[in-house]
Amino acid sequence: MEIFKGKTMKKTILLMLLFYSGILFAQEKTFYLKSGDKVSGTITAETDSTIAIETSFGSVMINKKNIKPEEAIIYLKSGDKLKGVILSESDEGIKIKAQFGEVVIAKEKIDRIDFKSMGAVARGFKRPGQTEDGRWYYGKERLIDIYFDPTGYTVGDNVLYLSLLSWGYGLSDRFQVTSKWGGYFWGDLNFRPKYTVFKKGTLKSEHAFAIGGHFHMRGYPVKYEMKEREYEDWIDGETKMSTEKSWGRIGESNFLNDDDSGIGKMWMEYFAAYTISNLKKSGQGRINHTIGATLTTYPGYDPMPRAYYAIHADARRNLKLIFEAFYDPYWASALEFTEDKEISEFDFDFGFIYAYSENLQLGIHFQRPWIAFYYKF
């Protein structure tokens, strides 16, 4: 048999190359159905009414009428914003139908994307913890701080916020200034600039690194040490001076033996934070990891370090779960305060942040001050 000779053989080899290259370079796509199902795989065939997909569990035929259309607002790193219906997705980009026509946007050019389901979705009673319909790549708000400790992000350009302990304003997408307003009552004019050195990556995985400092005109840092406290005691019918060990703020007086006027001195804190933000496989929210360190300086004391690792995850679009572990030789937990003794230089915190609306967030956590409040203008 000579079927593989001459032109026939060349055509056969060419067809085989085209076939295998098609498999090699085929892109996996994800389809969200009106039933609430999500199907991912490689398109093997397509007609006007159906799409054939090769998935991890076999071949699937999808009727195009059952695909849930999604409207998306895409924010580009250039500052531009596009709105349209998603036609298809691949690892390279997203194809949308905007008012001016169809356009393919490369994923590396996208800063963030907000999805809005347009089709009817099968709905029923939702159990606690059950996932939401559709996709949402970002929760209601990115955290700029994990309670006291910074992340790699800033509040955003031209955004003003007010919390129980501080206020802040974003001068640009990378630079913000915040301040603890409670210190104003004691004459502590303080400000905390923060600059995001870089923010790069894709929608699936993003990296951000920020540096900054907190400068105080007066007052005491939130650092503690065991002090020999002096107090008056009534013994045998007369007043005598006694001493005991108890926790006190760095720089605070030891009651009577003190030259300090009670207002503290000028002090500073420096910090750096690196955050990795990864999209969850479900396409519903992100898991963020932050590592960081701070260094506090106060007259008469050696520099005081603090190092931390934090993880916060989107449980729902409006709910973040947070855990943090930290090393801080000058931190005193509520238990250590109660028992007036040092337990460990390592500690942890956990809690949640709930976004009541686009502007208002409320939270509770294990360590003091226990309650978090945040309002964005």
Task: Please spell the DSSP secondary structure of 53-103, one letter per residue.
Answer: EEETTEEEEEEGGGB--EEEEEEETTS-EEEEEEEEE-SSEEEEEETTEEE
Does 38 reside within a domain?
yes
Q: Give the global pTM.
A: 0.73
Whether residues 331 and 271 fall in one domain: yes
pLDDT value at position 20? 40
Q: How confident is the model at residue 296 (pLDDT cuts 50, 70, 90)?
A: very high
DSSP lists the bridge partners of residue 326 as 308, 347
Alpha helix segments (H runs only) across the chain: 6-25, 334-339
CATH number, domain at 25?
Answer: 2.30.30
Predicted pLDDT at 284: 82
Looking at the DSSP assignment, which residues form a beta bridge with residue 233? Answer: 240
pLDDT score of 132 more than 60: no
Asked if residue 133 belongs to a domain, the reply is no
The whole-chain average pLDDT of the chain stands at 82
58: left (phi > 0), else alpha (psi -120 to 50), else beta? left
Give the pLDDT of residue 8. Answer: 57
Reported as a single tens digit per residue, the pLDDT across 88-120 is 777 677 888 888 888 888 877 887 787 775 443
- Of 105-119, 218-232, 258-272, 286-300, which gets the smallest average pLDDT? 105-119
Residues 283 and 311 in one domain: yes
- Check whether residue 153 and residue 24 sit in a common domain: no
**Model pLDDT, residue 360:** 92
Which residue is associated with the tokens 């708000």? 141
Report whether pLDDT(136) > 80: no
Residue 211 and residue 101 share a domain: no
Most confident of 168-172, 241-245, 284-288: 168-172
Are 94 and 39 in the same domain? Answer: no
81-89 vs 70-76, strand pairing mode: antiparallel
Q: In this model, does residue 170 exceed pLDDT 60?
A: yes
What pLDDT score does 231 carry? Answer: 66
Distance between CA 23 and CA 42 in Å, rounded?
9
Give mean pLDDT, residues 268-297.
Answer: 94
Q: Is 150 exposed, middle or buried (0-12, 13-18, 19+ CB in 10 A)?
A: buried
Residues 360 and 324 in one domain: yes
Question: Mean pLDDT, to the nearest integer, of 307-332?
Answer: 95
Residue 300 pLDDT level (bands cut at 50, 70, 90) = very high
Please give the pLDDT value at position 40.
80
- What pLDDT, on a 0 to 100 scale, did the predictor assign at position 254? 64
Q: What is the pLDDT of residue 35?
A: 81
Q: Are residues 153 and 80 in the same domain?
A: no
The per-residue pLDDT for 342 is 77
Count of residues in the chain: 377
Contact 146, 307 (CB under 8 A): no
Pair 20, 96 in one domain: no
Give the CATH number, domain containing residue 309. Answer: 2.40.160
- Better pLDDT: 39 or 194: 194
Structure confidence by residue, pLDDT tens digits, 17-53: 444 444 434 446 777 788 878 888 888 888 888 888 8
Domain span at residue 21? 6-64
Separation of alpha carbons 371 and 364, rounded Å:
5
Residues 353, 360: Cα–Cα separation, whole Å:
10
Same domain, 164 and 212: yes
Task: Give the mean model confidence (pLDDT) for residues 143-155.
Answer: 94
* DSSP codes joined into one string, 195-248: EEEEEEE-SSEEEEEEEEEEEESSB--S-EEEEEEEEEEEETTEEEEEEEEEEE
My answer on whether omega of the bond before 221 falls inside 30° of 0, hence cis, is: no
Report pLDDT for 162.
95
- Nearest to residue 203, comparing CAs of 84, 111, 289? 111
Closest by alpha carbon to 296, among 219, 210, 226? 219
Q: How many domains does the chain have?
A: 3
Mean pLDDT of 121-149: 65
Query: What 8-state DSSP symbol labels residue 257?
Result: B
Q: pLDDT value at position 267?
A: 97
Same structural domain, 365 and 288: yes
Nearest-5° Cα angle at 202, 196 to 204: 115
Q: Is 40 helix (H, G, I), strand (E, B) or coil?
A: strand
* C-alpha span between 173 and 175 (Å, rounded): 6
The dihedral region occupied by 49, where left means phi > 0, alpha psi between -120 and 50, and beta the remainder, is: alpha
The CATH number of the domain where 89 resides is what?
A: 2.30.30.100
> Which residue has better confidence, 116 or 224?
224
Whether the pLDDT of residue 208 is over 90: the answer is: yes
Residues 14 and 153 in one domain: no
Residue 230 lies in a domain: no
**Distance from the Cα of residue 237 to its chain's centroid:** 61
How confident is the model over 188-210, as a mean pLDDT? 93
Please give the DSSP secondary-structure letter assigned to residue 345. S
Which residues are registered as beta bridge partners of 109? none
Quote the distance between the C-alpha of residue 324 and its chain's center.
13
Q: What is the C-alpha to C-alpha distance for residues 174 and 195, in angstroms, rounded to an integer?
A: 6
Token pair 């055509």 in the structure block, residue: 11
